Amino acid sequence: MNAFPTIRRSLILPLFAVGMLLCAGPAVGVVIEAGDETPDEMVGVGVEENLGVQLPLDLAFRNEEGEAVTLGSYMNGEKPVLLLLNYSNCPMLCGQQLNDLVRALNDPGMENFSIGREFDIVSVSIDPREQPERAKLTHKRYSEQYDRPGTSHGWHFLVGNDENIHKLADLVGYRYNFVESTGEFAHPATLMIVTPEGVVSRYINGLGYEAKTLRLSMVEAADGKVGSTVDQILLTCFVYDHTKGKYAPQAVGIMKLGAAATVLVLGLALAPYWLHRRRSTKSTESDSTDSTDTQETITA
């Protein structure tokens, strides 16, 4: 009898968080304020976007193998990083977020763009009680869901002490509360794109990730260090729309690309004519020179 309110409460908080995310849309970027219908545990929960902030690369954690690591172990100037803050024992939201992420990463739009090669993923637990053994189980689960064998070395699940977790969360504007009555956390769902040097480049808030948005965000964050020529062209035609949480067509970029394509097509179409005209001009000049030489010989 006494257990029912606790169970119900443990379900209400995650459902409330999901509801807030879905109602607010992809671009949440806000902190929940107190209200008549807002549970006390959700007040102050949300995301304050700190774009351009440099992460403390010496911040210490342990990975899923129990090894001592720092953020700098993964942000060493080589690849962009997808950074998540969540926790393995989360009853609802974290699992949904990770499932959505894996679904997007398995999308055909992410072909030839793999974890451990073009980018890394760092998932930091906000629960200081979690140990590497628990992180290892989570790592195994989502590595198996990711349909790219041999790439699990690029996805890292980190655990740490409360002080370092809060340092990272405060710096990136990730606001969450610990709910003592359930032993769980009220928290938002957000994905941060970090440059190879450890600078926050983009926030993708909410659930349901789009493969194109993930890919272009990482290409942009890497400043041309990853991605194909097509990706670079797409970045000139698309711009990130914060209201929709994804990349949308940019009229100016499309017009510029269209103008360049028109010039290229015209150039290719007129090239045979120019070559023919050039040859004809050279031939005429050659005939004129020969005629002049002949006249000079006869005169002599």
CATH number at residue 207: 3.40.30.10
Is it the case that residue 57 has pLDDT exceeding 50?
A: yes
Is it the case that residue 90 has pLDDT exceeding 70?
A: yes
Q: Is 228 a member of any domain?
A: no
Q: Is 257 a member of any domain?
A: no
Q: Is 13 a member of any domain?
A: no
Residue range of the domain that includes 206: 28-221
Lowest mean pLDDT among 1-5, 46-50, 78-82, 156-160: 1-5
Q: Is 100 a member of any domain?
A: yes
Mean pLDDT of 17-42: 60
Q: Is 89 a member of any domain?
A: yes
Residue type present at position 67:
E
Residue 299, pLDDT score = 52
Q: Is 17 a member of any domain?
A: no
Q: In this structure, what DSSP letter does residue 159 have?
A: B
CB 191 within 8 A of CB 101: yes
Q: In this structure, what DSSP letter does residue 70 have?
A: E
Q: Are strands 246-249 and 238-241 parallel, antiparallel or unpaired?
A: antiparallel
Q: How far, in Å, CA of 76 to CA of 71, rounded? A: 9
Q: Is 285 a member of any domain?
A: no
296: confidence class by pLDDT, cuts 50, 70, 90: low
Mean pLDDT of 50-60: 95
Q: Is 297 a member of any domain?
A: no
The residue count of the chain comes to 300
Number of domains in the chain: 1
Residue 82: partners with Cβ closer than 8 Å, 6 or more residues away: 101, 119, 120, 121, 122, 191, 192, 193, 194, 214, 218
Q: Which two tokens stand for residue 264?
A: 């290229």
In this predicted model, which residue has the larger pLDDT, 46 or 35? 46
Q: How far, in Å, CA of 180 to CA of 189, rounded? A: 20
Is it the case that residue 77 has pLDDT exceeding 60?
A: yes
CB 199 within 8 A of CB 214: no
195-223 pLDDT, tens digit per residue, is 999 999 999 998 889 998 899 889 888 87
Residue 287, pLDDT score = 58
